[in-house]
Amino acid sequence: MAADVGTGGHPKGMFKTLRTDAWWFEPLWTGLGFLIFTIYANYEMLKGDNYWYNAGVEGFGGYLSPFFSPLFFADTRVWAGAPVHESFFGLAPEWWPTWFPSISAALILPLPLSFRLTCYYYRKFYYRAYFMTPPACAVNPAPQPGRYEGERMMLLFQNLHRYALYTAIVVIGFLSWDAFMSFFRGGQLGVGVGSIILTINPILLGMYTFGCHAWRHLVGGRKDCFSCDALNRDKGMTKSYGAWRAVTWLNERHMLLAWVSMIWVGWTAVYVRLVASGAITDFNTWGN
Amino acid sequence: MAERKFRVWRGNAEGGEFVDYQVEIEPGMVVLDAVHRIQTHQANDLAVRWNCKAGKCGSCSCEVNGKPKLSCMTRVNDYAPDETITIQPLRTFPILKDLVTDVTWNYEQKAKIKPLQPRPREADGTHRMQQEDVDRVQEFRKCIECFLCQDVCHVLRNQDRKDAFVGPRLMIHIAQLEMNPLDTADRIPELKKEYGSGLCNITRCCTDVCPEHINITDNAIIPLKERVVDRYYDPVMMIWRALTGK
CA-wise closest residue to B101 among A147, A9, A218, A116: A9
Query: What percentage of chain A has pLDDT greater than the value 90?
Result: 66
Residues of A with CB below 8 A from B158's CB?
Answer: 134, 140-141
In a domain, A151, yes or no: yes
Better pLDDT: A83 or A161 = A161
Low-confidence ranges of chain B (pLDDT < 50): none
Considering CB atoms only, which of A7, A137, A217 is closest to B152?
A137
Domain count, chain A: 1
A203 found inside a domain:
yes
Mean pLDDT of A33-61: 90
A-proximal residues of B, 99-118, CB under 8 Å: none
Residues in chain A within 8 Å Cβ distance of B133 = 224-227
Optimal mutation site among B226, B227, B239, B246, interface A, most CBs of chain A within 10 A: B226
The minimum CA-CA distance between B126 and chain A, rounded to whole Å, is 17
Q: Is A118 in CB contact (< 8 Å) with chain B?
A: no
> Cβ distance A198 to A178 under 8 Å?
yes
Task: Name the percent of chain A lying above pLDDT 70.
Answer: 95
Q: Give tens-digit pLDDT for B18-28.
A: 999 999 999 99
- Mean pLDDT of the region A128-156: 92
Dist CA A123 CA B168 (whole Å) = 17
pLDDT at A235: 58
Tell me the ipTM for this assembly.
Answer: 0.92
The residues near A264 (Cβ < 8 Å, ≥ 6 apart) are: A197, A200, A201, A204, A205
Average pLDDT in the A99-108 region? 75
- Decide if A7 and B11 are in contact by the 8 Å CB cutoff: yes
Tell whether A170 lies on the interface with B, counting CB pairs under 8 A: no
**Cβ A171 vs Cβ A108: under 8 Å:** yes
pLDDT tens-place string over residues A191-246: 999 999 999 999 999 999 999 999 999 999 999 988 886 655 555 678 888 899 99
Is the Cβ–Cβ distance between B147 and B106 less than 8 Å?
Answer: yes
Residue A239 sits at the chain B interface (C-beta within 8 Å):
no
Question: What does the pLDDT read at residue A87?
Answer: 76
- Compare CB distances from B91 to A1, A10, A127 and report the shortest one's residue: A10
What's the half-sphere exposure (Cβ side, CA atoms, 13 Å) at B174? 33
Please tell me if residue A141 touches chain B, with a CB cutoff of 8 Å: yes
| Chain A residues within 8 A of B196 when measuring between CB atoms | 150
Q: Nearest chain A Cα to B148, which residue?
A: A138
pLDDT at A156 over 90: no
Model pLDDT, residue B74: 97
Confidence at A81, pLDDT banded by 50, 70, 90:
confident
pLDDT at A233: 57
Q: Identify whether A17 is part of a domain.
A: no
Judged by a CB distance cut-off of 8 A, whether residue B157 touches chain A is yes
Q: Which domains does chain B have, with CATH numbers?
A: 2-101 (3.10.20.30), 104-244 (1.10.1060.10)
Residue A101 in this model has a pLDDT that exceeds 80:
no
**A6 in any annotated domain:** no
| pLDDT for A86 beyond 70 | yes
Structural domain range at position A230:
25-276
In a domain, A191, yes or no: yes
Asked whether the CA dihedral A30, A147, A13, B91 is positive or negative, the reply is: negative
Closest chain B C-alpha to A131 CA, distance in angstroms: 11
A140 occurs within a structural domain: yes
d(CA B199, CA B196): 6
CA distance B210 to chain A (A): 12
Q: What is the pLDDT of residue A7?
A: 87
Mean pLDDT of the region A116-136: 95
Confidence (pLDDT) at A85: 74
Q: Which of residues 201-220 of A touch B (CB under 8 A)?
A: 213-214, 216-217
Please indicate, yes or no, if residue A165 is contained in any of the structural domains: yes
Kindly report which listed range (A11-25, A94-108, A126-140) carries the lowest average pLDDT score: A94-108
Chain B CB contacts of A137 under 8 Å are 67-68, 152, 203, 205, 208-209
Residues of A in contact with B14 (CB under 8 A): 7
Is residue A10, in this structure, part of any structural domain at all? no
